Chains A and B, each alone.
Chain A
Amino acid sequence: MTYLEISLPRLAISFALIVGAILLSRRSRVGLEGQLLWGAIRAAAQLLAIGYGLLLLFGHERPWSVLLVLLVMVLVAAATAARRVEHGPPSRRLFLPALLAIVGGGSLALVPVFAFVISPTPWYEARLLVPISGMILSNAMNVVALVFERLFSVAESEAPRIEQLLSLGATPAQALETQERAAVRAAMIPAINGLLTVGLVALPGMMTGQIVSGTPPIRAVRYQIVIMYQLAAVATVSSLLAAWLVRRLVFNRHQQLATARASARRASAPSEAPAR
């Protein structure tokens, strides 16, 4: 098996796919031509940049340079997961919980695998550490964002039920238990579905990449199995951590719903319930 290189002129030919998509979007008045073009240019620019970036990193592989790249990845992932959610606090208050949940889940999924399963030499081998960490961290990011989004939204929509439990003497943990569990379950569904359908519906990117570059499929699948298990682990740990860490933002220090004041303002002019 040989690796077939795509020359730059041939790469340009693939752009015809985007041109086709733009023409179709225009003809059927979907109105996404601008976004398609901008997305295609950004994707190419970002990937070319990371390609050269990785080339540079592989050429100067030092523990600090690899760790610096991982640090940037973690910070970007946390900032993205902490983007303002409806009914939630400002991003700056979500950043730290997001960072801790991503680092917690990420390190639990990455450290044992790099120590005992892949065991690269040197341990900071960027060719392995950077792409695999990227997959795990981006999954942690998505899971954390989902938990945040879901928890603040149900804390608002189910505020009467949560306050009912508080007024019966529930701790914040008890009052939010059902909603936390639902948020964690919802955030984990993609990882579970991934485990169930991998190889049947989709061939994951990393495995495809290895096969395309000439690795025998039977070796590539071993890597993929490890990755799938890591994804399941990171989804579990990061979502649980995110739910636990963000609970203190749903409630204030008086163990009241943090959104209670806003709700009280809305409820200050209620329509009286009909008699029955």
Chain B
Amino acid sequence: MLDGASLRVEAGTVAVIEGASGSGKSTFLRVMATLLQPDGGDVLLHDVPSSAISPQEFRRRVAFVSQRPPMLPGDVEANVATGPRLRGEELRRTRLVELLREVCLDPELIERPADELSGGEQQRVAIARALANDPEFLLLDEPTSALDPATASHVVGTILALARRGLGVVVVTHDRSQAASLTATPWECVGGKIGSAR
């Protein structure tokens, strides 16, 4: 499915992998998120192999948002606070509001059951949920595929802002124009190999 794919992501940059459906780009992202074990090769975090870091710590530091991220039971607050709660920590209300604003979600939605939100709102709750773990890298699989153009461009803006803040972001997309708007050098995934799209 994937062969010889390699990518180096710097903090504070956005790397975009574009490619058609079935080209292996989502698989590549799942390997980077350590949700899938490659037959060979490794994922390095600041030059330390993922195998030398506990999966819990690695996944907290490298956040992953899938294409259609499932909402967990409960309201928006319960969803966004999941990561800290799993570690026995509490997400402060002010931080919660800050995270929702960061992904352009109305803080009034805090008590709404997450599964009642629109696809676009769920996508942004998922990004806020990933950010609640204070990750160093953020892996996004088709983050705007469920969004209308206006919201999509807002999410693109959010991604660029996150990168400016120092986060390393990897975005997988099948949308060429979005790839171009996110980065100067999008990477292309063709038949499981990664190369420069330009």
Q: Which residues of A contact B (CB under 8 A)?
A: 160-161, 163-171, 174, 178, 252, 254-257, 260-261, 264-265, 267-276
Contact = CB atoms under 8 A, between A and B. Distances in A.
Which secondary structure characterizes the binding site on chain B?
A: loop
Given A174-B86, A273-B145, A160 B66 contact: yes
A256 B24 CA distance: 19
Nearest to A174: B86
Contacts of B35: 163, 166-167, 256-257, 260
Contacts of B24: 268
B34 A164 contact: no
18 contacts: A161-B72, A164-B69, A166-B55, A167-B33, A168-B60, A169-B87, A171-B56, A174-B86, A255-B56, A256-B35, A261-B36, A261-B37, A265-B1, A268-B24, A270-B67, A272-B174, A273-B119, A275-B149
Interface string B121-156: 000000001100100000000100111110000000
Nearest to A272: B145
Contact of B55 (A254, A268, A274): A254
Nearest to A164: B70
Contact of A275 (B59, B130, B146): B146
B34 A254 contact: yes
A268 to B, nearest CB: 5
A53 B60 CA distance: 60
Interface of B: 1, 21-22, 24, 26-27, 30, 33-37, 51, 55-57, 59-60, 63-64, 66-70, 72-73, 82-83, 86-87, 118-120, 129-130, 133, 142, 145-149, 174
Contacts of B68: 160, 273
A164 B72 contact: yes
B36 A268 contact: no
B37 A254 contact: yes
Contact of B130 (A168, A171, A264): A168
B59 A168 contact: yes
A101 to B, nearest CB: 26
A169 B86 contact: yes
Contact of B59 (A166, A270, A271): A166
A276 to B, nearest CB: 5
Given A268-B24, A276-B118, A276-B120, 4 more contacts: A167-B59, A169-B57, A256-B37, A272-B145
Contacts of B27: 264, 268
Contacts of A267: 26
A269 B57 CA distance: 31
